[in-house]
């Protein structure tokens, strides 16, 4: 019985230690956005902020704020986490947010 309890506690510890924090996922989204800009050979765009709210175990929503030659823009994001894999989708167009 003690062996089963110890195995359950160890499994729970391993599963919890693998879970990424919102801040880690925000950093991954920032890096993926910048890599996509580089792939598309887009210059003059920088990421100012990524802010996410966890909606469920695997779903986050939030905004990405950029500085572009035309001004500052906000992009609505939907981020999905499946295990260690993170993907994002931009919902709609960028919204001007100068200021």
3-state secondary structure the chain: CHHHHHHHHHHHHHHHHHCCCHHHHHHHHHHHHHHHHHHCCCCCCEEEEEEEEECCCCEEEEEEEEEECCEEEEEEEEEEEECCEEEEEEEEEEEECCC
Mean pLDDT for 3-7 is 37
So what's the pLDDT on residue 16?
43
Which tens digit of pLDDT belongs to each residue from 26-85? 999 999 999 999 999 999 999 999 999 999 989 999 999 999 999 999 999 999 999 889
Q: Write the CB contacts of 97 (distance below 8 Å, at least 6 apart in sequence).
A: 65, 71, 72, 73, 74
Mean pLDDT for 11-25 is 63
* Domains observed in the chain: 20-96 (3.10.450)
Q: pLDDT band for position 1 (50/70/90)?
A: very low
Asked if the model's pLDDT at residue 14 lies above 60, the reply is no
C-beta of residue 30 within 8 angstroms of C-beta of residue 86: no
């Amino acid at each position: 019985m003690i062996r089963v309890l110890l195995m359950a506690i160890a499994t729970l510890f391993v599963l919890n230690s693998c879970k990424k924090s919102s801040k880690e996922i925000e950093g991954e989204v920032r890096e993926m956005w910048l890599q996509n800009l580089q792939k598309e050979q887009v210059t003059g765009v920088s990421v100012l902020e990524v802010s996410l709210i966890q909606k469920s175990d695997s779903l986050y929503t939030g905004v990405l704020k950029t500085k572009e030659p035309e001004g500052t823009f906000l992009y609505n994001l939907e981020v999905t986490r499946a295990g260690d894999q993170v993907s994002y989708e931009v919902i709609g167009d960028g919204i001007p947010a100068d200021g």
